[in-house]
Structure 1
Amino acid sequence: MSLKALHVIPTLDILAGGTSAALSGMASAQAQAGIKVSVVATYAEDGVETFAPFLTEQGVDVTLLGPTSGSLRRHPDLEPTLRQQIPAHDVVHVHGLWEEPLHLAFKLARELGRPAMLSPHGMLDRWSLEQSKLKKQIYLAWRLRKHLKHVDAFHFTTDEERESVGRFGYPGKPMVVPLGLDLDEFDPLPDAGRFRARYPKLGDKPYALFLSRLHHKKGLELLLPAFAQLREQHPDWRLVVAGPPENDAYLESLQALTKSLGMVEDEEMFFVGMQRGAERIEAMVDASFFVLPSYQENFGIVVAEAGAAGLPLVISEHVNLASYVESNELGTITVQDVDQLRQSLDQTIRRDDLADVGRRARSTTLEHFDWKNIGRRWIDVYGQLTPNPDD
């Protein structure tokens, strides 16, 4: 009999970004590797677009409960659903920290005698814990700390995340397994020119691409002024900012900042919104390099995607793939400072070997981040928690 894994996550909302996307790729890869995978998630309101249809197509059993109430995502069917599902699985894999579904998953896994693994998805990193700090300290003391002390294993996506969380001294076994890519999306790549055809005002101008959720942690308030300062030396270069905004007010603040810096929207810089599926890869193919100056990224799957598309990478030291990028010479590591970021962008634009760096990024990334290979690794990882899955 195959291993049976139950994933519990607050949301599968596509617009929620990192955690739901990471779980979607992970669960799909595990199912393709022969693990019997189930997911329990909630949704806050009707009509939310989720990864559930994709996961169902991949053979994953998905239970969605909602609409939920409050920021903790409470729902009356959560506890009975988990009580029914947990005993039918060999391991309970919890994604995130703060919401009611996760608290119940921790509690019931221990009560029903099933091992629990936690993927914190960067939420235990220093930067993350400093955000809404008082609320998180209260919740840790109220109920979370006892769960963290009883977790059987922690899943980290990088050695950097493992080292960061290691400062707490929790006894759960640390296991490092990266996220991955569906290489069928990136090999072969789409033809060049498709993104430019959708945004003809770009013309044939070279551009740097930022592609991620528009959120204050992504460092856009540093990127925009840094890029504005480049215009005198590099007047032909453009900046494309792609991704869904945290909210309308935040997008408006970025547009106001662009105007205050003297840049003309849709001429020198472009806000193009969320790019789905092949659209995001087309945006990468037409770009000259990728930039992500985040204050914190647990993994940064978009960095791997950009590398797979053949882009040189300019990322901050707080993206946990920074050591991978640096050791493989796939781009430039920068810091959270406008002038330093400007220098990094300038150096990248001036590189004579930019195309060579992009080719190296593509070959290295395709070798290291294949979901098919990573999915098979989970059989061994879960097996260490459930030595007799047939029992």
Structure 2
Amino acid sequence: MKILIVIPSIGSVYGGPSKSVVELAAATASQGIDVDLVTTNANGDQTLDVPCGSWLKNHSYRLQYFPAWFKGDLIFSWPLILWLIKNIKNYDLVHTNYVFSPLVTITHFIAGHKKVPYVATPHGMLEPWALAHKKIKKKIFLNLLEKAKLSQASGIQTLNSSEAQNIAKLRLNAPSFIAPNGIFAPDFNPLPQADLFLQTFPATQNRKLILFLGRIDPKKGLDLLAPAFAQIHRQFPESHLVIAGPDNIGYLATAQKMFQEAGCQKAVSFTGMLTGKLKYSAIAAASVYVAPSYSEGFSISILEGMASGLPCVFTDACNFPEASAVAKIIPVGQQKLADALTWCLANPEEAQQMGQQARQFIFEHYTWDQIATQMITVYQWILGQGPKPNCVTTD
């Protein structure tokens, strides 16, 4: 079985989906599947410093970058399109990522023309909140192009049951299946020490750290977090909020102003994006993880927070009801957010116990090895090499 994965970019500024695609590719290839991943060198307002037009060996799969034209989240690459026209028939199945992307839509056209089956993963971009953002443009694109090509897919991957229900309302004719994101267990066992992060950001030393890991973006709920944290900081003066994530749409100044207006900006550190050892050190330094989002597909950073044993607070819009017994899942709202964070800081022993239960829960159910095994059974079913998996819905 030879699988081609297509994604407009795996640049780190695009957040969790880029990371999840790369990690799923590695996990799938490690189970003996022949996996190639093609993408572009786009990375927000910069280009990745990578060679283009040749195969690179990345863990157990091959990776090739192509030069791109891009502006914000709009990414296009004629060299990649031409390569697909020439080479897509060499693969048994194509797995695309994102919607509302001309590059992905054209990939669907090419795959359909060449009679190569394809699986599409929207990554939460068809959720109600996401569809309401730039609503008119998305409605036109959806009705003119997106629906038809998604309906012709051999499968649509959804990341959670809520996303599956919302996509079902679009009345697409393609089979769908739920396959969530995951983590690599060795990355969290053991965690690095907190010293690296604390030394890099001295303002966080000797504080109770609340950690936000995510893009600086309107959908992430920072407008709720600012007044909620101001309330918490008055009650817990030793608390300090760490906002760790990239600003790829120019929203940073707006976000900073929210905390200034709430009167708590001196207890907030905007670190920019953290990667590698520094990110894991930040997790080790934190006392609580928070995700106040208005909409998520299936957050990698929530999985990382839980896998690290942190008590986690996130909204029901993050679409992870399965974690309700091991995390504080709240309705979207400022006061509910403040109350949940207050409980974590006021009850450290109970919060720590909840975090350890969350860690065990993630290791038991949400590792990439488990999810890759499930994905492979879906690929095999599509290609007529195995029975229909229980996760697939064809109604």
Instruction: Provide TM-score, normalisation by structure 2.
Output: 0.90
Unaligned runs of 5+ in 2: 387-395
1:50–1:257 Cα change, 3 Å: farther
Is contact 2:56–2:64 with CA below 8 Å preserved after alignment? Answer: no
Partner of 1:218: 220
Is contact 2:94–2:117 with CA below 8 Å preserved after alignment? Answer: yes
Task: Choose which of 18, 21, 28 in structure 2 pairs with 1:20.
Answer: 18
| Pairing 1:346–2:342 present | yes
Partner of 1:272: 271
Alpha-carbon separation, structure 1, partners of 2:96 and 2:315: 28
Cα offset for 1:77?
A: 2.6
Once the two structures are superposed, residues 59-79 of structure 1 have per-residue CA deviations (whole angstroms, 9 ceiling, x without a partner) of 322232223266753333333
Alpha-carbon separation, structure 1, partners of 2:315 and 2:141: 30
Partner of 2:188: 186
Partner of 2:315: 316
1:55–1:164 Cα change, 3 Å: farther
1:157–1:238 Cα change, 3 Å: same
Task: Choose which of 143, 149, 152 in structure 1 pairs with 2:151.
Answer: 149
Instruction: Provide TM-score, normalisation by structure 1.
Output: 0.91
Partner of 1:201: 203
| Pairing 1:294–2:326 present | no
| Pairing 1:387–2:389 present | no
Partner of 2:57: 56
Cα offset for 1:105?
A: 1.5
Is contact 1:6–1:38 with CA below 8 Å preserved after alignment? Answer: yes
RMSD: 2.2
Cα offset for 1:46?
A: 6.6
Is contact 1:8–1:101 with CA below 8 Å preserved after alignment? Answer: no
Alpha-carbon separation, structure 1, partners of 2:340 and 2:3: 43
Once the two structures are superposed, residues 26-64 of structure 1 have per-residue CA deviations (whole angstroms, 9 ceiling, x without a partner) of 111111111111122223477325799997321322232
Alpha-carbon separation, structure 2, partners of 1:356 and 1:78: 49
| Pairing 1:365–2:362 present | yes
Alpha-carbon separation, structure 2, partners of 1:164 and 1:51: 39
Is contact 2:55–2:64 with CA below 8 Å preserved after alignment? Answer: no
| Pairing 1:334–2:333 present | no
Letter in 1 for 2:232: L
- More deviation, 329-338/218-227: 329-338
Letter in 1 for 2:338: R
1:46–1:189 Cα change, 3 Å: closer
Alpha-carbon separation, structure 2, partners of 1:80 and 1:283: 42
Partner of 1:111: 113
1:50–1:215 Cα change, 3 Å: farther
Task: Choose which of 86, 103, 122 in structure 2 pairs with 1:101.
Answer: 103
Partner of 1:252: 253
Describe the SS at the equivalent of 1:123. coil
Once the two structures are superposed, residues 302-338 of structure 1 have per-residue CA deviations (whole angstroms, 9 ceiling, x without a partner) of 10101111101100110012x1220xx2221122222
* Percent identity (aligned): 29
Is contact 2:256–2:265 with CA below 8 Å preserved after alignment? Answer: no
Partner of 1:10: 8
Unaligned runs of 5+ in 1: none
1:108–1:306 Cα change, 3 Å: same
Aligned length: 381
Is contact 1:229–1:342 with CA below 8 Å preserved after alignment? Answer: yes
